[in-house]
Amino acid sequence: MIKFENVTKIYPGLAKPAVDSLSFTVPSGEICTLVGPSGCGKTTTLKMVNRLIEPTQGAIYVPNGNGDLVNVMEVNPIQLRRKIGYVIQQIGLFPHWTIFENIATVPRLLGWDNDRIRRRAEELLEMMNMSPEYMDRYPHELSGGQRQRIGVARALAVDPPIMLMDEPFGAIDPINRNLLQNEFLRLQKEMKKTVLFVTHDIDEAIKMSDRICIMNVGGRLEQYDTPAAILSNPANEFVENFVGADRALKQLNLIRVEEIMDTAPVLLQLDQPAAEAWALLRERELRSAFVVGPDGRLRGYVVRRELRDKTGTVGDYFTRADMGIEISTTLRDALSEMLAMDYNTVCIVDNHNRVQGMLSIEMIQKKIAESNVNGDDQENGA
């Protein structure tokens, strides 16, 4: 874990602190995000962990490797930084070094032999979904998203238990940013690093964090809690304003479609007689239903009136459509997609397009209404 105890930083010559008696603990294996307006002391807080900046008062503790905590001021800064990966926006890759040489920086300092470094670099590129061919390229030959992946890979090179990430995806376009966020979350499931992550974007904080530390100008901590608790129960007006008026919608980021979908929707088979399918839909009072093939994969949908008085099979009358949403999608993303495609109902599928359930706009609305009702007396959303 990382423990902050009354940490204050006053820059020389300034009257007011940049960080003001900050106390909080990041549990081991969790992602904690510092979020707040520009100038509220996020970067300063981060840099005090690896001693790029030293606190004026208070102490920061990190594990010493034997299960005990040690004050970072009592560790040799070079030793300390080898155990702490550091990723920054606009990365700081060395422009005249190849990707391999960039990744090799810290392993070389630790005296790893070339074979071992190369194996690790290959492994890291694979983790970042990049081909080993990139090893011999230079940073300027990569896209912004790829460079940022190398920034993350380099920080992970010697597998440090702690990662500090300062607006790591801030300069990336929204689509790639989303990809990078998802990739990092997927990696984190296995890596279980203790991560201190900085962003000024509350949506990114909600998505990435186990816990969020909301900071205000002057380096004051306003609330430290899980995303769910912060959304449902903001500690004060500042937090409420910072998370925004649409916090009900934001809560949808924390819920996956599989948690609320109907897991037993009416499904029709391609080879099912049309008359039988029509009777079934009438009995269930459904105007349409999804159609699956013999392999259980989604093929499209059929409208009840198209089947009325028809001979033949469902396969003769259905509309081929790709209206499946993956089971791990957040409700927020599912809702956006449904609104964009103008679908009231979507089919929920696994990554092989096999039907797992059904989701309607009404089901999402009901969820929003529930979280609003429960919001004020929810103690802790964790």
With binding defined as CB under 6 A, does residue 272 bind ligand ADP? no
Q: Which helix (H) or strand (E) holds 164?
A: strand 162-166
From the list 6-14, 36-44, 99-107, 265-273, the region that binds Mg ion by CB under 5 A is 36-44
Q: How far is the CB of 43 from ligand ADP (least distance, A)?
A: 3
- CB of 171 or CB of 363, closer to Mg ion: 171
- CB of 42 or CB of 250, closer to ligand ADP: 42
11 binds, among ligand ADP, Mg ion, none (CB under 5 to 8 A by kind): ligand ADP
User: What sign does the CA torsion over 173, 52, 15, 221 have?
Assistant: positive
Which amino acid would we find at residue 242? F
The single residue among 7, 22, 26, 43 that binds ligand ADP, judged by CB under 6 A, is 43
With binding defined as CB under 5 A, does residue 89 bind Mg ion? no
With binding defined as CB under 5 A, does residue 43 bind Mg ion? yes
With binding defined as CB under 6 A, does residue 39 bind ligand ADP? yes
In the DSSP assignment, the letter for residue 218 is T
Strand 84-88 relative to strand 162-166, pairing? parallel
Burial of residue 52 (number of CB atoms within 10 Å: 0-12, 13-18, 19+) = middle
From the list 38-46, 116-124, 155-163, 323-331, the region that binds ligand ADP by CB under 6 A is 38-46
Backbone angles phi, psi at 309, to 5 degrees: 55, 30
The single residue among 7, 18, 91, 164 that binds ligand ADP, judged by CB under 6 A, is 18
From the list 33-41, 60-68, 93-101, 273-281, the region that binds ligand ADP by CB under 6 A is 33-41
DSSP secondary structure letters along 288-305: EEEEE-TTSBEEEEEEHH
- CB of 41 or CB of 107, closer to ligand ADP: 41
Backbone angles phi, psi at 324, to 5 degrees: -95, 140
DSSP secondary structure letters along 32-70: EEEE-STTSSHHHHHHHHTTSS--SEEEEEEE-SSS-EE
With binding defined as CB under 6 A, does residue 94 bind ligand ADP? no
With binding defined as CB under 6 A, does residue 199 bind ligand ADP? no
Six token digits for residue 118: 């190369």
Interface with ligand ADP (CB under 6 A): 11, 14, 18, 38-44
Interface with Mg ion (CB under 5 A): 43
